[in-house]
């Protein structure tokens, strides 16, 4: 089973991921086992509100053998357990393509009170995949981290599974398995109308049929492809990429052909080296200087002079020893110190040689800088709500009003039914005939039943109102279809305790005043939370400020000690 993980940034949004997972045109069937597009968008909004760089975690898993929807769902649950994610907020989609199925698991990065774990997730996901293959009896797929996975399984007590995974570890001289391209690269090429797996097979076949880089470049050119050095020469020297003639990127040469980088550098060196060495004997070196013969020579034969003219030797020059420029600079500074007035502050000269520190001093300076950065991070902390955008009264109240409109309609409809039944019951009690026939009693029971239904709807609507304005953390409980007289005391007590909210919901003018009042309380509560957070962390920040001051003074002392180290004395000249 192949498991791939990618993280979706908050600035990217969920549009591309939603289109691929929920509306992929190349899939034969798409089944949403859990979650929805709305859930992914809500998770992205929470991550953006918390100031996170990443909002969603996309995990795609493709089994070699067929798995049922229940098995895929169980495997997704095990992935959540490994990453300590809440399985209640996952989105699980199963794609069917070419008769086989694979799954897409989307998890929110913000888990309510912590960020989803991201340490060694590639290894951990492969470990869960190996255990699932063993559990289902599938063939084990080798991966890049089999050695680390075997050790982890031994630590967790899965000794038999660890031995099976250890058998997949390749020999030392063999290369580790590596993907030829990433899922992101494949999505990009698909949007450009390019079949990346087919191009990968083509490049691999051309390389296997070539006897060197020169023939390989010619084969690429015959198929409209080129190979050139990558754009990131500073960070990845020697890396080459393969692209189409129009500039569409295919991928890295080493990834597509599975050639090691060291071997590829040797091939490049051989390609750039001259194919034929210059021969030792050059025909031009056999030519000799010639001159014309005398005028009486009728044969015009060219011949060389008897002997070359003797060159006049120049007298040898006496080479003087080179003067040390550092010593000249030092003497010049000493003369400047003598001529400088005594009242001027003495500025220590710059060191003439590079600053030489011992390994222990370098470690101390590096450790002090790390401690300063840690304390500075404490000083830079702010309340979680400080970076939030300020609330706009009109926008927020309009949003609340729009959210409450369907609840108001439901409350009005329930109250109308109850009021109509109550009027009929009152009219029946005034008629002696209806009292004698029992119709008044039946209407009374209907009125009491509708009263309970109205109180239940009232409870639901008031809870929804409190949830919309932020006074209730959870959504309202659904309306119960069946109610008894045992539920009446609790409903009537709820009506008394929330009479202000009920009155606001019943009258539109009072609702506007109540919403405006709740908005002011919301802004004040946010400011109060920020103030309380600053007050609670004030001692910690003050201590961090003192720690930074002390650490910087130690760093200055160490720098001064290193700067006062004597320079290496130069060798005196021989002539003096």
Q: Give Cβ neighbours of residue 451 (< 8 Å, ≥ 6 apart).
A: 418, 422
| Same-domain check for residues 7 and 134 | yes
When pLDDT is cut at 50, 70 and 90, the band that residue 568 belongs to is: very low
Is residue 308 predicted with pLDDT exceeding 80? no
Burial class (CB in 10 A: 0-12, 13-18, 19+), 1: buried
Per-residue pLDDT at 153 = 84
How many CA atoms within 13 Å lie on the side-chain side of 450?
A: 20
| Same-domain check for residues 261 and 133 | no
Percent of the chain at pLDDT > 90 equals: 3
CATH number of the CATH domain containing 23: 3.30.930.30
| Same-domain check for residues 407 and 492 | yes
| Same-domain check for residues 122 and 243 | no
Per-residue pLDDT at 304 = 46
When pLDDT is cut at 50, 70 and 90, the band that residue 258 belongs to is: confident
Per-residue pLDDT at 324 = 77
Q: What is the mean pLDDT of residues 290-312?
A: 50
Per-residue pLDDT at 387 = 73
- Residue 156: inside a domain, yes or no? no
Per-residue pLDDT at 283 = 47
Rounded to whole angstroms, the Cα distance separating 43 from 115 reads 12
- What secondary structure does DSSP assign to 109-142, as a single string? SB-SSSBPP-TTHHHHHHHHHHHHHHHHTPPPPP
- Among 442, 471, 506, identify where a domain stops: 506
- Residue 155: inside a domain, yes or no? no
For 464-522, the pLDDT digits (tens) are 877 777 777 778 888 887 778 888 888 888 877 777 777 777 777 777 887 888 788 88
- Residue 534: inside a domain, yes or no? no
Q: What is the mean pLDDT of residues 273-292?
A: 49
Burial class (CB in 10 A: 0-12, 13-18, 19+), 530: middle
- Residue 351: inside a domain, yes or no? no
Is residue 349 predicted with pLDDT exceeding 70? no
- Residue 533: inside a domain, yes or no? no
Q: How far is CA 511 from the centre of its chain?
A: 44
| Same-domain check for residues 19 and 131 | yes
- Residue 103: inside a domain, yes or no? yes
For 126-144, the pLDDT digits (tens) are 888 888 888 888 878 877 7
Is residue 99 predicted with pLDDT exceeding 80? no
How many CA atoms within 13 Å lie on the side-chain side of 33?
A: 22
Among 66-80, 254-268, 304-318, the minimum mean pLDDT is found in 304-318
What domain range includes position 418?
393-506
| Same-domain check for residues 120 and 11 | yes
Contact 56, 8 (CB under 8 A): yes
| Same-domain check for residues 127 and 205 | no
Q: What is the average pLDDT score of the chain?
A: 77
Q: What is the mean pLDDT of residues 290-314?
A: 51
| Same-domain check for residues 121 and 216 | no
Report helix angle 439-468 to 488-497, nearest 10.
Answer: 50
- Among 253, 271, 289, identify where a domain stops: 271
When pLDDT is cut at 50, 70 and 90, the band that residue 104 belongs to is: very high
Instruction: Map tokens 């990131």 to a residue.
Output: 232
- Residue 99: inside a domain, yes or no? yes
CA proximity to 220, closest of 191, 193, 241: 241
| Same-domain check for residues 132 and 256 | no
Is residue 554 predicted with pLDDT exceeding 50? yes
- 252 DSSP 8-state letter: E
Is residue 274 predicted with pLDDT exceeding 80? no
Neighbours of 206 (CB within 10 A): 21
Rounded to whole angstroms, the Cα distance separating 483 from 389 reads 44
Rounded to whole angstroms, the Cα distance separating 544 from 378 reads 7
Q: What is the mean pLDDT of residues 337-353?
A: 57
- Among 141, 164, 189, identify where a domain stops: 141
Per-residue pLDDT at 105 = 92
- Residue 398: inside a domain, yes or no? yes
Per-residue pLDDT at 561 = 55
| Same-domain check for residues 65 and 134 | yes
Rounded to whole angstroms, the Cα distance separating 59 from 77 reads 12
Structurally, how many domains does the chain consist of?
Answer: 3
| Same-domain check for residues 137 and 204 | no
When pLDDT is cut at 50, 70 and 90, the band that residue 278 belongs to is: very low
Per-residue pLDDT at 56 = 92
């Amino acid at each position: 089973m192949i498991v791939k993980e990618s993280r979706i940034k908050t600035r990217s949004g969920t549009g591309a991921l939603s289109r691929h997972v929920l509306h992929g045109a190349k899939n034969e069937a798409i089944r949403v086992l859990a979650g929805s597009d709305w859930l992914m968008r809500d998770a992205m909004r929470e991550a953006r509100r918390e100031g996170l760089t990443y909002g969603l975690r996309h995990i795609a898993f493709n089994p070699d053998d067929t798995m049922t929807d229940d098995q895929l769902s169980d495997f997704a649950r095990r992935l959540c357990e490994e990453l300590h994610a809440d399985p209640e907020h996952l989105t699980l989609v199963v794609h069917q393509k070419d008769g086989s199925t694979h799954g897409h698991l989307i998890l929110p990065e913000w888990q309510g009170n912590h960020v989803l774990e991201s340490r060694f997730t590639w290894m951990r996901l492969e470990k869960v995949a190996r255990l699932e293959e063993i559990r289902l009896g599938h063939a084990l797929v080798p991966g890049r981290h089999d050695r680390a996975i075997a050790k982890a399984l031994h630590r967790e007590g899965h000794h038999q599974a660890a031995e099976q995974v250890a058998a997949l570890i390749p020999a030392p001289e063999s290369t580790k398995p590596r993907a030829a391209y990433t899922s992101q690269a494949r999505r990009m090429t698909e949007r450009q109308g390019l079949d990346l797996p087919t191009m990968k097979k083509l490049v691999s076949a051309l390389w296997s049929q070539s006897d060197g880089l020169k023939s390989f470049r010619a084969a690429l050119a015959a198929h409209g492809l080129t190979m050139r050095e990558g754009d990131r020469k500073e960070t990845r020297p020697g890396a080459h990429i393969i692209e189409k003639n129009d500039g569409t990127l295919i991928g890295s040469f080493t990834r597509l052909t599975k050639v090691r980088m060291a071997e590829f550098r040797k091939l490049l060196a051989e390609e750039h080296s001259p194919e034929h060495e210059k021969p030792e004997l050059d025909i031009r070196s056999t030519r000799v200087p010639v001159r014309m013969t005398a005028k009486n020579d009728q044969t015009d034969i060219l011949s060389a002079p008897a002997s070359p003219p003797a060159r006049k030797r120049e007298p040898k020059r006496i080479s003087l020893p080179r003067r040390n420029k550092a010593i000249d600079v030092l003497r010049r500074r000493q003369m400047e110190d003598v001529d400088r007035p005594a009242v001027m502050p003495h500025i220590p000269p710059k060191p003439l040689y590079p600053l030489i520190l011992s390994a222990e001093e370098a470690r101390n300076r590096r450790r002090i800088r790390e401690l300063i950065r840690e304390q500075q991070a404490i000083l830079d902390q702010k309340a979680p709500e400080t970076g939030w955008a300020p609330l706009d009264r009109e926008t927020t109240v309009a949003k609340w009003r729009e959210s409450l409109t369907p609840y108001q309609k439901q409350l009005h409809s329930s109250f109308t039914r109850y009021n109509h039944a109550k009027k009929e019951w009152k009219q029946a009690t005034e008629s002696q005939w209806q009292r004698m026939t029992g119709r008044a009693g039946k209407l009374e029971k209907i009125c009491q039943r509708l009263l309970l239904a109205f109180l239940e709807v009232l409870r639901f609507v008031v809870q929804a109102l409190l949830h919309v304005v932020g006074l209730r953390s959870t959504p309202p409980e659904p309306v119960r279809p069946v109610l008894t007289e045992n539920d009446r005391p609790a409903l009537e007590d709820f009506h008394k305790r929330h009479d202000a909210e009920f009155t606001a919901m019943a009258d539109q003018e009072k609702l506007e005043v109540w919403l405006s009042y709740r908005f002011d309380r919301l802004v004040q509560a946010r400011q109060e939370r920020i103030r309380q957070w600053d007050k609670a962390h004030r001692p910690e920040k003050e201590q961090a400020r003192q720690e930074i001051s002390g650490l910087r003074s130690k760093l200055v002392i160490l720098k001064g000690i290193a700067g006062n180290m004597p320079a290496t004395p130069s060798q005196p000249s021989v002539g003096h």
